[in-house]
Structure 1
Amino acid sequence: MRNRADVLDLAVLGRLADGPQHGYELRKSLMTTLGVFRTLSFGSLYPRLRALEERGLLTSSSTSAGDPGALPHALAGRRSRIVYELTATGKEHLAESLAAWDPTAWDDDAFDVRFSMFAVTDHTTRLRILEGRRARVLERREASRAAQAKNRERRDAYTLELQRHGLDLLERELGWLDGLIAAERTGAGPGHPAQHGPPGQHGLPAQQGFAAQHGARDTTDVRPAASSPSTDPSGTDR
């Protein structure tokens, strides 16, 4: 996936694989299940839907509550709505996309989308993406440690706390990934989907979603620690 549009295209195809949806329902689904799209606008979604339709990957049709083939429940309404549905070509393209991977698959945005479709992704591809993501996060952790150690004494307590928080998130994600990789290698899969969901689910961005699931500290009201033998009056750790 070369850019954010490619990530959105894959997410759209994945959602439509569950059945036809109109634009409003599709946008709502993407916003509430994938944090990367929590601010997705119709101005961003509809051009991608048109592009996918032009490529023959989906079709659109206008329906209303009175039509014989109208969709039930939330998809129905008094006003005519455009409903989108995968074509056979779209289903084939989605299957091919889920079987492929490259280093962009473990970037933050793409990883959330790919992980959300692991249930229909083959074992080898799942494992490769998880291992790639782990390597990426490990690099970030080492860079974070180096940054935290550099010029430590010249940073204020709030900056140090923010760095510790970021490092804590990376450590927790590594532990989460290690568990998933071990499960994939033994063929067990994640034991508790509700606890091992993708980092960006529930409408949170990847890092926030991960922190929420794994109990990372909330730093919205961080206060410097009181002076102690290991902390000088300025709040800088020694």
Structure 2
Amino acid sequence: MGTRRTHVLELAVLGLLDAAPLHGYELRKRLAQELGTLRTFSYGSLYPCLRRLLDEGLVTQTPDGSGPSRGRRSRIVYRLTGAGRDRLDRLLSEVGPAACDDECFGVHFALFGRTRADVRVRILEARRDRLRRQLDHANQRLDQVAGRCDGYLFELNRHSVESVEREVHWLDDLIDRERRGPEGAATLGGRTDPGQPGSAPPARPQ
């Protein structure tokens, strides 16, 4: 697995375990359902990642205290360590190319509730800049194929342009809200409580 994919899977795992300890199966399910991470990763890549995090002292594993079902082994619960939280904090503070590319941006965005406000804005701006460059190239392709291809190919290229335009407009709106501080961020997802989300990550469970 490439370095970038390793990075985003590690970030996703640490982010979920920061919220609560999880069994391996629950972790795998939430990676797919909440973060969409496993759309681009095989299920087999999760457990090598967990093993590496265990070896580095970033997570621990303990048997489920509820005891095994008859004929079954007890399930393993994974928990984040203090070193794991430090690593997560460092990863969440990084604003590099990996934070805004197509493969990693969704995971970073899903963890924005635990990310500093200034970092959120920088990631959103970097993502918007990246998409604006993509939009320029997409418009150039559209001009090139206009009148020189069948209608379906033209519509496919037009759809690509419109999809990027929609995301750029979405990012414009998000950046505007973030710059207005907690009051603007509080309107995300229909929220009206100015305290959610705030400019600082929520307190972590002990």
Evaluate the alpha carbon distance shift between residue 83 and residue 77 of structure 1 in structure 2; reply closer, same or farther with a 3 A threshold. farther
1:19-98 superposed matches below 5 A: 19-38=20-39, 40-63=41-64, 65-66=66-67, 79=72, 80-98=74-92
Identify the residue that residue 228 of structure 1 maps to in structure 2.
Answer: none
Alpha-carbon displacement from aligned partner over 1:92-134 (angstroms, at most 9, x marks no partner): 1111211122122100121111101111111110000000000
**2-side partners of 1:164 and 1:190: how far apart?**
34
Unaligned runs of 5+ in 2: 192-206
Alpha-carbon displacement from aligned partner over 1:59-86 (angstroms, at most 9, x marks no partner): 11122523xxxxxxxxx85531111110
Paired residues of 2:145 and 2:154 also in contact (CA < 8 A): no
Identify the residue that residue 155 of structure 2 maps to in structure 1.
Answer: 161
Identify the residue that residue 204 of structure 2 maps to in structure 1.
Answer: none
1:193 correspondence with 2:189: yes
1:112 correspondence with 2:106: yes
Unaligned runs of 5+ in 1: 67-75, 196-238
Comparing 47-56 with 103-112, greater Cα deviation is found at 103-112
Comparing 140-149 with 95-104, greater Cα deviation is found at 95-104
**1-side partners of 2:52 and 2:19: how far apart?**
20
With normalisation by structure 1, the TM-score equals 0.73
* Paired residue secondary structure (1:37): helix
Alpha-carbon displacement from aligned partner over 1:132-179 (angstroms, at most 9, x marks no partner): 000001011110000010142221111111111111111100110000
With normalisation by structure 2, the TM-score equals 0.84
Identify the residue that residue 18 of structure 1 maps to in structure 2.
Answer: 19
* Paired residue secondary structure (2:6): helix
Q: Which has the higher helix share?
A: 2
Paired residues of 1:60 and 1:83 also in contact (CA < 8 A): yes
Structure 2 counterpart of 1:143, which letter? Answer: H
Paired residues of 2:21 and 2:80 also in contact (CA < 8 A): yes
Paired residues of 1:64 and 1:77 also in contact (CA < 8 A): no
1:173 correspondence with 2:167: yes
Evaluate the alpha carbon distance shift between residue 161 and residue 105 of structure 1 in structure 2; reply closer, same or farther with a 3 A threshold. same
**Which structure has the larger Rg over C-alpha atoms?**
1
Evaluate the alpha carbon distance shift between residue 144 and residue 36 of structure 1 in structure 2; reply closer, same or farther with a 3 A threshold. farther
Name which structure has the greater RCO, CA cutoff 8 Å, separation 6+. Answer: 1
RMSD, aligned α-carbons: 2.0
Identify the residue that residue 184 of structure 1 maps to in structure 2.
Answer: 178
Q: How many residues align structurally?
A: 186
Paired residues of 1:2 and 1:104 also in contact (CA < 8 A): no
Identify the residue that residue 222 of structure 1 maps to in structure 2.
Answer: none
* Paired residue secondary structure (1:59): strand
